[in-house]
């Protein structure tokens, strides 16, 4: 009975970490963590640069380095999962896939997605099967060139998870990893731009996060205006309208429209005005 209660407590807390806003679970919980969850969580290292020379294997078993997926103009969505996860990792990847489907941007064109297993026992074969499954769910041709599923050794995995502040722990009793649910958005040069928590990701939040991480190198001029009019709210983990920016933009647009209207009135008036007759000879 006691063992069953411990399992239920651990499961309930892991789910609460997955669904809570950043820091909310820790702020509300005052009693000691269950032993299985010690060291589990995320410590944000915003603007820290991850080690891009870390070596992994891709889904085809080829030796790669993280820097292979970082390009001058494309941000990167990093997900840390393990492919045999019975619940939480699947929910994270499903939520990311749903949000990606609502974007007009394509992985491999405007951004990259790198999914890394933090279980060193997992193989490239398992990574390839996982990739095939999620490419099928995503349903867009050519996405495989921009979504990568990696496996690696313990040393490289530890270096990457340490760099992004991702704490996890193997639970021997339950035979699975305890970890928090989040994705990480990185700049094209490998710096951590944003942490998006949970298992559901708003498409607008994902889009604005990618746009911000790219420093305006992707997206249309309209996207740049939308980003200008929103600011990131760390409490909700999403973007909210910035009232002052809306007012400034509205004021500029009003001035432009009024100026255009006055110009058109002046032009119409000038066309209607009768021409001035030249003075008669001798005057």
Q: What is the pLDDT of residues 109-159, one digit of tens each?
A: 999 999 999 999 999 999 999 999 999 999 999 999 999 999 999 999 999
| DSSP H/E element including 25 | helix 24-28
What are the domain boundaries of the chain?
9-214, 229-269
Question: Do the strands 182-186 and 192-197 form a parallel or antiparallel pair, or are they unpaired?
Answer: antiparallel
Closest CA to 77 of 44, 51, 47, 115: 115
| pLDDT score for 38 | 75
Write the CA distances from 65 to 54, 128, 225, integer angstroms.
6, 17, 35
Cβ partners under 8 Å of residue 105, min gap 6: 111, 207, 210, 218, 219
**3-state secondary structure (DSSP) of residue 240:** strand
CATH superfamily of 9-214: Glutaredoxin (3.40.30.10)
Q: What is the pLDDT of residues 51-75, one digit of tens each?
A: 999 999 999 999 999 999 999 889 9
How many angstroms separate the CA atoms of 216 and 226, rounded? 11
Q: Which residues of 252-262 are buried (b: 16+ CB within 10 A; e: fewer)?
A: eeeeeeeeeee
């Amino acid at each position: 009975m006691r063992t069953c209660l411990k399992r239920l407590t651990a499961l309930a807390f892991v789910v609460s970490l997955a669904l809570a806003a950043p820091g909310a679970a820790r702020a509300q919980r005052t009693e000691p963590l269950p032993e299985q969850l010690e060291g589990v969580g995320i410590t944000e290292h915003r603007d820290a640069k991850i080690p891009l020379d870390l070596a992994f294997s891709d889904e085809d078993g080829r030796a790669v380095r993280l820097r292979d997926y970082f390009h001058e103009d494309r941000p990167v969505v990093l997900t840390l999962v393990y492919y045999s996860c019975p619940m939480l990792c699947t929910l994270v990847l499903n939520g990311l896939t749903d949000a990606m489907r609502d974007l007009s941007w394509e992985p491999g064109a405007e951004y990259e997605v790198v999914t890394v297993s933090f279980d060193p026992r997992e193989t490239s074969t398992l990574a390839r099967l996982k990739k095939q499954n999620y490419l099928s769910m995503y349903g867009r041709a050519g996405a495989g060139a921009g979504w990568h599923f990696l496996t690696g050794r313990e040393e490289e995995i530890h270096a990457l998870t340490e760099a992004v502040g991702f704490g996890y722990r193997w639970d021997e009793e339950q035979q699975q990893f305890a970890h928090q649910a989040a994705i990480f958005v990185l700049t094209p040069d490998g710096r951590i731009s944003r942490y998006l928590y949970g298992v559901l990701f708003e498409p607008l939040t994902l889009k604005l996060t990618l746009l911000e991480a790219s420093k305006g190198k992707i997206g249309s001029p309209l996207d740049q205006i939308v980003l200008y009019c929103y600011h990131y709210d760390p409490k909700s983990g999403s973007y909210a309208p910035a009232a002052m920016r809306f007012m400034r933009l509205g004021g500029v647009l009003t001035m432009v429209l009024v100026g255009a209207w006055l110009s058109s009135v002046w032009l119409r008036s000038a066309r209607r005005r009768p021409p001035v007759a030249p003075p008669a000879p001798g005057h």
